[in-house]
Structure 1
């Protein structure tokens, strides 16, 4: 593979890669759309229609307890007994991993459905990234195409792009997320991103068409109907500093709780997930009984509840908001330890709830507080500053550009504060279950194509034949062990 990006763009192999990426983008996006539609269908079936079917007039106050216990049991069984350990552990942060093998996909899908549909506080983005990459690997195996490991990794990355853009409703936002998460950089960045953008663009047309055909709706982050926002004030820039530090402390506490409980989940996944589910259910019940609000505001990722929370913020007292923030944050940390899903949407919800709570203080408008809370909490939990700014901007729709300076300050403060208060990350081994030889040789699902490797080290010119025996030097072409 040429190290010059312009030479790579002119190559026939790259054109073939683009064609294959465009072709694969359509079915992967359709699969992602179907996965999200299934989650949106099962959540009300379990929490609304099933209680009615059993003869209750509404959801009983204790209903989350058995539901979260069942969800925890299913998640734990998938982690313990199916290949792939149910996907990546969310408590360890948002990262892009190697594409899962076809054998890993059932466990990842089951663990994700049990997490998302039964009310654990995690989002669908991490499973979608894994499913998108895994479906591409499955398609390449089914086609029996003899493709280099780098090509497999690049196409798997395109599948992840297509799947995540279905959730965010924007290929650009998906590109930012995966670009930062995979650490892409250097002159090859644009070359590597283009196949993913192409697959995501084709996929966007697919899920728009699926919405028109099925009527199940689209998936968009924008929150319409927000109150108008004027211009940032000096006081709000001061609040950006406060919100950035507060989000760093709260988010670090949430991650600490998840990592503290994670060893119990690793030792006994089913039991730990059941206990975690019961704790999350108890927090939801405590919030519902204490405020008269719905327990679903604590349960689930918060993706669907975020818009109504902001739109109806005037109906929440300061005490209700404080209790919501506490219960959601605790449920988020507990879910990180034992369930499988993504950290993005709970971070958005917690940040928005914190911003609404702080907007009751003088000198801070509601929209500004929500935007800064979302951006600051996102960067704490994801570690992706550019994506965090973009998320807040996209969510707030017409007000996004006006509040962007405030969001940038809050994000930077939170990002730097977390770097100072958290210990440096330790190198981690890959989770068990990713044993595909092609995937093992490839970089991460959205990682960049590495520069061309130089020739194997030959060492100094030999002055004669090497000595015989075990101490012989490696022969020509032998790569030294890393």
Structure 2
């Protein structure tokens, strides 16, 4: 296969796909960032308020919920993955379903629901790649379409996750690909991801918008791991396994009610999410944005300004963010990764006030442990993401992060019967016109 002319053509197409997909991903992320700032900060001031009122998130997220509900009800397709089920790498997205994914995810992310962009980016990248290859050659074999769709997913997700290798780990582990065909399947995607990363760097120089890097700079230095830190790794892994399972269980319990009345229940879910953010802002001196959104932009500031947070405020942040996250998982469309990472970091910061747990170690173990639970059990990816986020201290973190991740993974696996995931079809389109695969 590697010597065949057809496979060489796939590599060329994979490289070419990386260019338009990464450009779309870049401006998608920029649009999300601008929209979040506009709806939370600029719009209240434009309406005459001196700042963002405490109650503002309630109608804001409710409007987002209404738009998500309309997308799920009237546009073809499910609007994206069911995020409560973790990160899922499935078949290439039908081009007919692209509008529902784009609309539902933008409404989710822009108005403050507690989900991230990684899930929609994977689907949008896949759908764009399939659309391009169909336009170039309508009779492209199905296997080639699958490979090019995967290449589009690689290119889109790698623009967000710092490194093309991070995207490779995520999609490889999520898909459960194995055997001697791994390199054959992955090569077009890696090539697309590498080209996409280059395009992102170039767009940064042209536009000045930034590269959306997730690496956290200027974190406190950490020495070699101690016996006490290994003990804390077990504690944090157990706690993350329980908390993450509880978040997913609550989401699964709410989901059937949302599915039956999507146009009414999704805006109501937005009211609840906004209410949690408003309540947190009312009982602390922090802003509602700490609870709203995915947390990917707020995470560096949380770590760097950890001294400005009391233990009580961090505990409240974990509580309200977890509740808002669970409701968002049940009703909105987006990725499950970053809110879990943020909650893990906040929990690790709170625990770092205890003896024997340095701040950076607590943050790293919390991020890794919550990530593996909320992704639905991808331990290699969880470790890699944590080390890329905190890369300046990766060498000193790797051993304790691995322990925390494995403990959390095993704990969540043992609690999985209690979490009661939905039966087949719950994550699919609840109402409206069905999608026809392959279009």
Q: TM-score of the superposition, structure 1-length normalised?
A: 0.88
**Equivalence for 2:212:** 219
Matched position secondary structure for 1:422: helix
**Equivalence for 2:184:** 191
Residue by residue over 1:48-86, the C-alpha shift from the partner in whole angstroms, topping out at 9 and shown as x without a partner, is: 111111111111111111111100000011011111121
**Equivalence for 2:175:** 182
8 Å contact 1:91–1:262 — kept in the other structure? Answer: no
C-alpha spacing 1:426/1:321, structure 2 compared with 1 (3 Å):
closer
Note the 1:79-228 alignment, pairs <5 A.
79-228=72-221
Matched position secondary structure for 2:28: helix
8 Å contact 1:100–1:434 — kept in the other structure? Answer: no
CA distance in 2, matches of 1:253, 1:196: 35
Instruction: Please point out which of 386, 401, 405 is paired with 1:392.
Output: 386
Deviation for aligned residue 1:136: 1.1
CA distance in 2, matches of 1:216, 1:414: 37
8 Å contact 1:379–1:411 — kept in the other structure? Answer: yes
| Moved beyond 6 Å, runs of 4+ | 424-427
Residue by residue over 1:146-169, the C-alpha shift from the partner in whole angstroms, topping out at 9 and shown as x without a partner, is: 111111001000000000011112
8 Å contact 1:73–1:274 — kept in the other structure? Answer: yes
**Equivalence for 1:410:** 404
Instruction: Please point out which of 9, 13, 31 is paired with 1:20.
Output: 13
Residue by residue over 1:113-145, the C-alpha shift from the partner in whole angstroms, topping out at 9 and shown as x without a partner, is: 100000000000000000000001111222233
CA distance in 1, matches of 2:28, 2:42: 20
Deviation for aligned residue 1:434: 4.2
C-alpha spacing 1:426/1:253, structure 2 compared with 1 (3 Å):
closer
CA distance in 2, matches of 1:338, 1:427: 16
CA distance in 1, matches of 2:44, 2:380: 43
Deviation for aligned residue 1:9: 1.3
C-alpha spacing 1:11/1:220, structure 2 compared with 1 (3 Å):
same
Instruction: Please point out which of 41, 44, 69 is paired with 1:48.
Output: 41
CA distance in 2, matches of 1:309, 1:271: 35
Structure 2, gaps ≥5 residues long: none
C-alpha spacing 1:434/1:179, structure 2 compared with 1 (3 Å):
farther
The alignment status of 1:436 with 2:429, answered yes or no, reads: no
Larger deviation: 113-122 or 424-433? 424-433
CA distance in 1, matches of 2:25, 2:180: 31
CA distance in 2, matches of 1:173, 1:209: 20
The alignment status of 1:357 with 2:350, answered yes or no, reads: yes
The alignment status of 1:306 with 2:302, answered yes or no, reads: no
Structure that is richer in helix per residue: 2
- RMSD in angstroms over aligned alpha carbons? 1.3
Matched position secondary structure for 1:431: coil
CA distance in 2, matches of 1:368, 1:43: 30
Larger deviation: 88-97 or 278-287? 88-97
CA distance in 1, matches of 2:383, 2:67: 35
Equivalent residues, number: 431
The alignment status of 1:421 with 2:418, answered yes or no, reads: no
Residue by residue over 1:412-437, the C-alpha shift from the partner in whole angstroms, topping out at 9 and shown as x without a partner, is: 11111111111286873473544224
The alignment status of 1:264 with 2:257, answered yes or no, reads: yes
CA distance in 2, matches of 1:173, 1:98: 20
Deviation for aligned residue 1:97: 2.1
The alignment status of 1:65 with 2:58, answered yes or no, reads: yes
Larger radius of gyration between Structure 1 and Structure 2: 1
CA distance in 2, matches of 1:270, 1:36: 27
Deviation for aligned residue 1:173: 0.3
Q: TM-score of the superposition, structure 2-length normalised?
A: 0.96
